A = this chain, B = another copy of it.
Amino acid sequence: MSGQSQPSRPEEPARELAREPDRAAQHAGRALPAVTEGEAGARVLTRRAPGMADVAQLAGVSHQTVSRVLNDHPNVREQTRLRVRAAMEQLGYRPNRAARALVTGRSQTVGIVAQNTALYGPTSVLTAVERVVSRAGFAVGVASVPVLDRISIADAVARLLDQHVAGIVVIAPVVSANEALDDVPDDLPMAVIDGDPGRPARLVTVDQQLGARLATRCLLAAGHETVWHVSGPPDWFDSAERVLGWRQALVDAGAEVPPVLAADWSLGAGFEAGQLLARMPEARAVFAANDHLALGIMKALRQAGLSVPEDVSVVGFDDIPEAGYVSPPLTTVRPDFEAVAEQAVRLLLAQLDDPSPGGLPRVAPIPPRLVERESVAPPGRAAPRRRTGVARRSAGR
């Protein structure tokens, strides 16, 4: 297949895949120095990425000056700086991170520790953090753990440490994960996302309580006497906080506080909770700890012949993309994952710039907002069950 006959390169036989080998090589990021093709006989390719020495030679300075330019040291004449920059450009020079990491003991890499899960919230946060970190000019190293227990996390952190990360971002939404944080060396810059609100140092979270209060109050405002709650797993901070917020809102309104229906985050658990709820005529308003639960609940309700929001009002949490497109469109609480990621990285960068440990950096919880759609209505069990879909109605208020 590789039909072109070219000057054979001994160390690199032609590959079938390569359609236009030389162009490919040219574009490769690390340019080929001293190609000087045509010098018959002599080795045509001196394949080796250019180093500081090469740049220095071309610019007529010492390698140290090149280093200074690279690191924006002040004591370099503008003219020299330009000359070096030009030489870099010409050679397609790229600094060798490994060498730098070796000597400084720290790389321009940020490590992220996260559970490997399909859960919408954590995944959204993860990708947001990736995005923000690389936007900030850092390389991204990910260490995902199968479960968020102490040893897995310690292990992940160790792996990251091996990579000589400059700092880490840990997504630690459960208590066991948070405990593992005690084990990380305290001189390693770190930002914790979704950790224990009781330990606010270096922590960034969504204001879960506020979100839960918003959701609960929305239901109360629609005229419901009280609001039931289907919670997430008890060892999740998000879960506990949402319970707290929900209860608070109820207490504030002088409403009765029904027992919590504990579940995990899954659709299936929501479905089961929904089956329970369906048998309790007094349960007319439900705040589900996340949208998946809400969807599961709604399915169970539907199967039991109950309709949402006429018979039962439901509010979720997360605002998954599907939320506006299910039937009925789900009223829910939308956390700002992007902002969380942004704050976390900011927190980390602050520690990087200023290694002084004085004063634990803290940031305020990020307030979520309520997205009102059509899964909330005033109580009115007496009203006839309606047909599906067609009619539109705005959310109760």
A41 to B26, CA, bound (A): 60
Would A28 and B183 count as touching, CB distance under 8 A? yes
**CB atoms of B299 and A19 under 8 A apart:** no
Interface size class of A (residues with CB under 8 A): 35 or more
Q: Are A161 and B295 in contact (CB-based, < 8 A)?
A: no
Task: State the CA gap A309–B126 with chains docked (Å).
Answer: 37
- Once the chains bind, are A182 and B388 in contact (CB under 8 Å)? no
**Given A24-B182, A185-B24, CB of A16 within 8 Å of CB of B139:** no
User: In the bound complex, do residue A24 and residue B130 qualify as a contact, i.e. CB atoms below 8 Å apart?
Assistant: no
Contact A182 B387 (CB under 8 A): no
Q: Could you say which of B95, B118, B299 contacts A127, with CB atoms under 8 Å apart?
A: B118
B118 touches A321 (CB 8 A): yes
Q: Report yes or no: B302 in contact with A388, Cβ–Cβ below 8 A.
A: yes
Q: Is A157 an interface residue (CB 8 A)?
A: yes
Q: Are A307 and B16 in contact (CB under 8 A)?
A: no
Stretch at the interface among A58-66, A99-107, A256-264: A99-107
Residue numbers in B under 8 Å from A388 (CB-CB): 302, 307, 387-388
Each complex incorporates copies of this chain amounting to 2
A118 neighbours in B (Cβ, 8 Å): 124, 127, 321
How far is it, in angstroms, between the C-alpha of A98 and the C-alpha of B105 when the chains are bound? 8
- In A46-96, the 8 Å CB interface with B consists of 94-96
**Interface hit among A213-221, A245-253, A324-332:** A324-332
Between A27, A98, A144, the greatest number of chain B beta carbons within 10 A of the residue's beta carbon is seen for: A98
Which of chain B's residues has its CB closest to A18's CB?
B186
Contact A182 B102, CB 8 Å, known A130-B142, A322-B267: no
Task: Report yes or no: A389 in contact with B357, Cβ–Cβ below 8 A.
Answer: no
CA A159 – CA B133 in complex, angstroms? Answer: 13
Closest Cβ of chain B: how far from A312's Cβ, in Å? 13
> A304 contacts which chain B residues (CB < 8 A)?
390
Contact pick for A134, options B29, B95, B143, B325, CB 8 Å: B143
Q: Given A182-B19, A327-B302, A359-B16, check contact A387 B389 (CB 8 Å).
A: no
Knowing A24-B185, A29-B158, A162-B95, the reply to whether A15 touches B144 (Cβ < 8 A) is no
> Which 8 residue pairs of A and B lie closest in terms of their CB atoms, listed nearest first?
A302-B389, A29-B158, A98-B101, A28-B185, A27-B183, A15-B357, A18-B186, A98-B102
- In the assembled complex, 10 residue pairs joining A and B whose CB atoms fall closer than 8 Å, in A order, are A13-B358, A15-B357, A15-B360, A29-B157, A95-B162, A140-B144, A299-B389, A303-B389, A304-B390, A387-B388
